[in-house]
Each structure stands twice: as C-alpha cells, then as structure tokens.
Amino acid sequence: MPGPLSIEDLAKAVDRATGKALGARIIGDASRTIASVAPLEVAQADALSFLANPRYRRFAAATRAGALVLSEADRHALFASGSTTCVLIVCEAAYTWFAFAAQALAPQDEVQPGCAPSAVVHPSARIDRSATIGPLVVIDEGGSIAAGVQIGAGCYVGRDVRILEATRLHPAVRIYDGCRVGARCLVHSGAVIGADGFGFAPFQGRWVKIPQTGAVLIGDDVEIGAGTTIDRGAMGDTVIEDGVKIDNQVQIGHNCRIGAYSAIAGCVGIAGSATIGRRCQLGGASMIQGHITIADDTIISGATAVTHDVREAGFYTGIYPFMRNREWERNAVLLRHLDELRERIRRLETQLRTRQTESDR
C-alpha cells in the first residue's frame, strides 16, 4: 500500500497521523506524484525533500526535488519571488511533517509469519502464530513472543523473556533471562539486554561479585541501537520507560531509570543507579556518573561528563574546546596552574590597595 502518492494524498496521510496538528500550506501543484524521499542535493522530480538546518539553505535553493517541506521563514528567504518548479509545503514543524510523510512513503518489508526451521525454540516457549522467528534464532525456556513480533536471524531470547506485540528485533540481538521488552519496540543488531551489572565488593585485595538478580524492563515504543548494552539490575530492575530512543553503542548500567521520551545519542555511558528524567536529551558520547539524578527536560551536550545531580531543567555543557595542538599545549599548561594565576591577581590587588591606602594618607 505505501508507495507513490500525490502531494495532496501525502498531506492527507500526514493529517491523519497527526490529527491535523501540523497545518501545512501547499504552494504549487498538489496533484504531483511523489515516490520517495531524497536529500536536497540529489532529489529528482518524484522526490520529497526538506529543509530544517540553515546550513543547507543553499542546497534547498538549488534543489530539483518535486516537493520541499520548509518553514515560512525559509520559504520567504529562498523563494519569495515564487520562481521555483518545486511544490512548497510550508510548515513550521517542517522536519516533523517530513517524518510523517516519509513514513507514509516508506516501503514496508513483507514478512511471513512463522518459525524458520533452523530456529531452536524450547517447547515451553509461547509464540504467537502471527510472529516471525528468523533462522538460527534461539528461544529459551518459558519465552513469550506476542502477536506480530519479528525476531531476526541469530537472536537469542533467554529464559522467561517476554516480548510484547509488534516489536522487532533485528538480527543478533541478545536478551538475557527474565527481561521484558514492550510493544512496538525496535532493537538493532548486537544490542545486549540484561547482562550483569558491574557490581563487586572489595575483599582482601580482590573483587567479590554481587549476584545481579534484577532484570531489565523496557517500555513500549522504545528504540535501541546497534551494539547498545543495558545491564540488568543488581537487585531491583533497570527500567527504560515508554518512548525512549537510544542510539548505537550506548551503555546503561544496572538499576538506571531512563524517563519516558528521552533521547540518548550514540556512545553515551550511563553508570549504575542513575536516574534520567523524562524528555531529556543526552548528546553523543556524554557520560553520566552513577547514582545521580537528572531533571526532566534537561539537555546535555555531546562529550560532556555529568558528575553531579542536575536539579533544574536546562542546557548543560562541559567540553574542552579543541584548537591547534601547539596552542593547546600552551593553554593546557596554564590550566594546571589556574590557582597560581589567581594568586598573582590577588597579590596585585593587595599591592594596589596598599598603595592606594599609602597615597591616601
């Protein structure tokens, strides 16, 4: 059913999906047919493209896309004269409109429900007949696979794992015993859910393992990227709430709680027992220390280490600016001696005050 659509039908599809919340205005021939989405630079007459990042304005001005979603401000800046062959779809939430349109145009994989003959499924596992179990999948004792679930080649689903309806595991996802994945989730290859948290107590110069007896509970509509690892709780559970989006190679320690609708970019590390609020955004390669709490609606820049609680929503950053190596060498040395610089300023201030006093006499 998805595939080429007129711009008019595309707009209707977006309206249906959004409850008409976006309110786009179409300038040009709405009967033109759109077959796919494409970047500004390469889009042809049957493609939809979008402009959201001002960096790409010059590509938008020159695009040969059949239709272009953009904000009123961008339309005014680029096409005020009206001289474009491109149908303009003017919408303040241009990127969001584009997202829904792209979903309407996206080809859907055809899946054949059933269990590949090479899958190894424990007889006690309950698998809905509308689920698809790929080749060389292992489903262990007591596993429960709901309607419409797709399990890609080579996945491992541990003992008593529950996977709710319409969730898709790409090939080679591993889920340890006792974990739960909600409905309509998407999990990418190499993700590991439920490995042991890193818990050891010191004893006579060596480490004693704390058995990790909790699980991982993942809500609905969660996306988990390739190679991401989410550890099981030490005692209680690690919890990923509904609608959280997690990119690749993210590490989430035991007993963390990630609030609903938060987004976590690639290479982020979150140490154990951290609590991330709802609707937070953690930039790529940021690092969250253990046992801390981050307020709802907080945004953390990429490459920032969060070492204590964030009590108030806001936009936080801690990045050493990069520069020519020679310049860095000079500055880094001074950085080690900031306290000496301050001391010299103090002495200067004292000297000046003394003189002032002397000359006032």
> Which position among 76, 254, 291, 308 bears the catalytic label?
254
Task: Name the minimum Å distance from CB 276 to a copy of itself.
Answer: 15
Amino acid at 82: G
Is 79 or 156 the residue whose CB approaches a copy of itself more closely? 156
What type of residue sits at position 290? Answer: G
- Smallest distance from a copy of itself to CB 5, Å: 14
Q: For the beta carbon of residue 109, count every other beta carbon within 10 angstroms.
A: 8
Q: Do residues 278 and 260 touch, judged by C-beta distance below 8 A?
A: yes
Residue closer to a copy of itself, measured from CB, 67 or 82? 67
254 counts as catalytic: yes
Give yes or no for a contact between 198 and 254, defined as CB atoms under 8 angstroms apart: yes
Q: What's CA 260's distance to the chain center, in Å?
A: 12
CB of 83 to a copy of itself, least distance (A): 26
- When the beta carbons of 84 and 251 are compared against a copy of itself, the nearer one is 251
What are the distances in angstroms from CA 157 to CA 145, 192, 355? 10, 10, 78
Q: What is the DSSP string of 326-353?
A: HHHHHHHHHHTTHHHHHHHHHHHHHHHH
Residue 313 and residue 26: Cα distance in Å, rounded? 37
Q: Is the CB of 73 or the CB of 106 nearer to a copy of itself?
A: 106
Which residues lie closer than 8 Å to 78 by C-beta, 6 or more apart?
51, 57, 60, 61, 70
Q: Could you tell me the smallest distance in angstroms from the CB atom of residue 82 to a copy of itself?
A: 27
For a copy of itself, which is the closer residue by CB, 126 or 347? 347
CB of 328 to a copy of itself, least distance (A): 4
Strand pairing report for 229-231 and 206-209: unpaired
Gyration radius from the chain CA atoms: 27
| Residue positions annotated with a catalytic role | 254
